Amino acid sequence: MGQSMDALFDIVTDTDTYMRIRARARYNSTGAVDDSVNDFTATGDMPGNVTNVDKDISIPYGGGSQILHDVSLTVDKTYGATQRIDFAASISGINYWGSGKVIDSWFYTVPARAYTAPSAPGTPSV
C-alpha cells in the first residue's frame, strides 16, 4: 500500500513562436481516501501556485488517482535555446496515511524556436 504523486503535461498549442502547456499534479493512492483536511502545496514556473491549502480528496475503495492542481502556461519560444519549465507539489496530513508526506517535482522542456532562412532573392533587373 502506498501513495505517490505524478505530473501530466499536455501541449495545448504549439506554434513556431510559442507553446501553451497544461500541467496537472495527480495524487495516487493504493487505498481508499476521503479527506478534506490536508496540506497541499504547488510551486515552480507554472502560474496558479498554491501554498498550504486543503484539497478535497475522494478515492474509492481499492485506490485510484485524482487531479489536485491543473494549470496552463504560455511560453514564448527562444531562438536557438530550449527552456525548462519546473513544477513541484507536495501533500501531507491525509488521514488515511497518517503523517506521511509525498513530495515530487517534474520539468518540461520547451523546444527552441527554429531559425528560418531568408527568402530567396527575386529576379534581378537592369
Under the banding of pLDDT at 50, 70 and 90, the label for residue 52 is confident
Range of the domain at 32: 3-110
The predicted structure's pLDDT at residue 1: 57
Is residue 119 assigned to a domain?
no
The predicted structure's pLDDT at residue 67: 95
Query: pTM for the complete prediction?
Result: 0.82
Domain with 94 in it: what CATH number? Answer: 2.60.40
The predicted structure's pLDDT at residue 14: 96
Higher pLDDT, 100 or 52: 52
Under the banding of pLDDT at 50, 70 and 90, the label for residue 59 is very high
Is residue 13 assigned to a domain?
yes
Under the banding of pLDDT at 50, 70 and 90, the label for residue 99 is low
Is residue 64 assigned to a domain?
yes
Is residue 117 assigned to a domain?
no
How many domains is the chain partitioned into structurally?
A: 1
**34-71: string of b/e by CB count within 10 Å (b at 16+)?**
ebeebebbbebbbeeeeeeeebebebeeeeeeeebbeb
Strands 57-59 and 33-35: antiparallel
Phi first, then psi: what are they for 78, rounded to 5°? -105, 135
Is residue 18 assigned to a domain?
yes
Q: Measured between alpha carbons, how far apart are the two ends of the chain, in Å?
A: 82
Indicate the average pLDDT of the chain: 90
